[in-house]
Amino acid sequence: MKDVALLGSTGSIGIQTLDVVRANTDKFNIKVLAAGTSVEIIRNQIAEFRPETVIMADNDAGRLIKDQFTEITVLSGQDALKESVGSSDIIVNAIVGFAGLPVTLTALNEGKILALANKESLIAGGPIVQKARMTKSAMIIPVDSEHSALHQCLHGYQSTFNEPSQSIRQLILTASGGPFRGLTLQELEKVTLDEALMHPTWNMGPKITIDSSTLMNKGLEVIEAHELFGVPYSEINVVVHPQSIVHSMVEFIDSSVIAQLSMPDMRLPITYALNYPNRNDSQWGSINWHQITKLEFEQPDFESFACLKLAYQAGETGQTAPAWLNAANEVAVEAFLQHQIMWVDIPHLIADVLDNYDGRQAIEENDIYEADKQARLVARKIMERK
Ligand code: MN
């Protein structure tokens, strides 16, 4: 029986993680649940999974939960989140955005298995997360479907993910292309929030759904792949695959390509991450081969979807540039969700923010928080001027 701390339990990945645990109560015990403000959802989760500890980011939400469940420990705030990591075997980081960084670092520094759905922490905190990753017994198992695919394709080919195998020619990340695939720049000027929130193949939360529509999600995933597998940016490529069945591929130097396929269902990569290095019986994502008629691939449109290029540039720059990219994107996406800017403004705002990048080195944890803060300040200043 493995004890699991599920941080971000009321979001899309959190809910699907509980689906996996529910189907495997003999293997996994939910020891900690953490959420932000969603009292209604977490009430039901507590009643069903009976965790020892519940953490609410919001103090008022914490009080409501405390009053109802007197037999469990209810805590609030960032420190509680960090402390909660120690007592579990597996930490599922399903927090949304940069706010997930302290959990990622604490989990790795304590030598835990980190099932990572929060890509932003790895992207923004790159050099610092890499140091934490050197901790004995610490391990990141990616939950992101593309990186889970790469992890599976690479299994057995690498002794350590810190030393990329000489036998890899390229990593090929697949992208669905999002709801606006094939639209021209002119057509993209008119797209609405509702249209951006309609993802053709994946059912996800609002932040990542908007990121998918701009291809920033794929850009962030390029950086994530670089950080996870140590492969240079020049050997990480993106190919659009509208069916979302091939989740990513590795081409080896003998030209052989290994791919991982399944129907798009996040419960499969979650199952993989929780059970690694073993495989567990599960039907999520199972392909009905009678229904698949075609698997298509095409090149991404770097001109209409400028976020992808911006991500490669920030990744190549390294240090705290990815933290700036991520912060600028979080501000831009939030502004778009609040109807403050248009969809086409998202890459423009991010590019303007990155023009102000101060070149700060990522030497200690605080450098990342400072970079994030600085980039957000710059982003808001630019928005005010417009
Ligand atoms: Mn993904």
Averaged pLDDT, 211-226: 96
Residue linked to tokens 């195998």: 165
Mean pLDDT computed over 361-368: 97
Length of the chain as a residue count: 386
With bands split at pLDDT 50, 70 and 90, how would you rate the model's confidence at 166? confident
378 part of a folded domain: no
Distance 144 CA to ligand 1 centre (A): 5
Instruction: Compute, in angstroms, the gap from residue 142 CA to the centroid of ligand 1.
Output: 10
Q: Is residue 155 part of a domain?
A: no
Q: How far, in Å, is the centroid of ligand 1 from the Cα of 64?
A: 34
Residue 10 lies in a domain: yes
Task: Report the predicted TM-score, pTM, of the whole model to 2 decimal places.
Answer: 0.95
Sheet containing strand 73-76, strands side by side:
73-76, 53-56, 28-35, 2-7, 90-93, 113-116, 139-142
Spatial distance between the Cα atoms of 87 and 328, rounded to a whole number of angstroms: 35
Q: Cα dihedral sign for 138, 142, 143, 148?
A: negative
pLDDT at residue 91 in the model: 97
pLDDT, residue 203, reads 76
Check residue 156 and give its pLDDT: 54
Å from CA of 109 to ligand 1 middle: 25
Per-residue model confidence as pLDDT tens digits over 34-61: 999 899 999 999 999 999 999 999 899 9
**Res 315: pLDDT:** 98
Of 267, 237, 239, nearest in space to 145 by CA: 267
Å from CA of 302 to ligand 1 middle = 18
Identify the residue with better confidence: 341 or 205: 341
Mean pLDDT in residue range 192-217 = 90
- How far from chain centre, in Å, is Cα 188? 25
Task: Evaluate whether residue 96 is within a structural domain.
Answer: yes
Ligand 1: distance of its center to the CA of 206 in Å? 14
For residue 69, the CA-to-ligand 1 centroid distance in Å is 36
What 3-state class would DSSP assign to 53? strand
* Among 16-20, 165-169, 339-343, 345-349, the least confident range: 165-169
Q: What is the pLDDT of residue 78?
A: 79
- Å from CA of 333 to ligand 1 middle: 17
CATH at 21? 3.40.50.720
For every residue of 289-340, DSSP letters joined together read TTT------B---TTT-HHHHHHHHHHHH-TTHHHHHHHHHHHHHHHHHTTS
Question: Exposed (0-12), middle (13-18) or buried (19+): which is 40, by Cβ within 10 Å?
Answer: exposed
Cis before 51 (ω within 30): no
pLDDT band at 200 (very low <50, low <70, confident <90, very high): confident
- Give the pLDDT confidence score for residue 186 in this predicted structure: 92
Ligand 1 centroid to residue 152 C-alpha, Å? 15
Instruction: Give the pLDDT confidence score for residue 381 in this predicted structure.
Output: 97
Distance 338 CA to ligand 1 centre (A): 24
User: How far apart are the CA of 35 and the centre of ligand 1, in A?
Assistant: 22
CA angle 183, 184, 185 (to 5 degrees): 125
Band the pLDDT of 163: cuts 50, 70, 90: low
Q: Does 358 map to a domain?
A: no
* Those residues with Cβ within 8 angstroms of residue 60's Cβ, 6 or more apart along the chain or in another chain: none
List pLDDT tens digits, range 91-109. 999 998 899 999 999 999 9
Instruction: Report d(CA 72, CA 52) in Å as an integer.
Output: 6
Q: 179 CA distance to ligand 1 centroid (A)?
A: 15
Distance separating alpha carbons of residues 55 and 102, to the nearest angstrom: 14
Half-sphere exposure of 136 (CA within 13 A, CB side): 0
Cα(331) to ligand 1 centroid in Å equals 20
CA of 377 to the centre of ligand 1 (A): 28
Domain range for 6? 2-142
The pair phi, psi for residue 380, each rounded to 5°, is -70, -35
pLDDT > 70 fraction of the chain, expressed in percent and rounded:
98
How confident is the model over 107-140, as pLDDT tens digits? Answer: 999 999 999 999 999 999 999 999 999 999 999 9
Any domain includes 87: yes
Q: Got the DSSP string for 105-142?
A: HHHHHTT-EEEE--HHHHHHTHHHHHHHHTSTT-EEEE
CA of 68 relative to ligand 1 center, distance in Å: 36
Q: Are 351 and 310 in contact (CB under 8 A)?
A: yes
Q: Please report whether residue 28 resides in a domain.
A: yes
Percent of the chain with pLDDT over 90: 87
Report yes or no: 140 and 122 within 8 Å, Cβ to Cβ. Answer: yes
Tell me how far apart the alpha carbons of residues 51 and 41 are, in angstroms, rounded to a whole number.
14
Q: How many domains, the chain?
A: 1
- Give yes or no for a contact between 377 and 324, defined as CB atoms under 8 angstroms apart: no
Average pLDDT, the chain: 94
385, part of any domain: no
Question: Could you tell me the maximum CA-CA distance found in the chain, to the nearest angstrom?
Answer: 62
Question: In Å, what is the CA distance from 75 to each residue of 15, 38, 48, 84, 101?
Answer: 21, 15, 19, 9, 19
- The pLDDT tens digits of the residues spanning 334-355 come to 999 999 999 999 999 999 999 9
Q: 221 CA distance to ligand 1 centroid (A)?
A: 7
Please give the angle made by the CA atoms of 67, 69 and 74, to the nearest 5 degrees. 80
Q: How many CB atoms lie within 10 A of CB 325?
A: 29
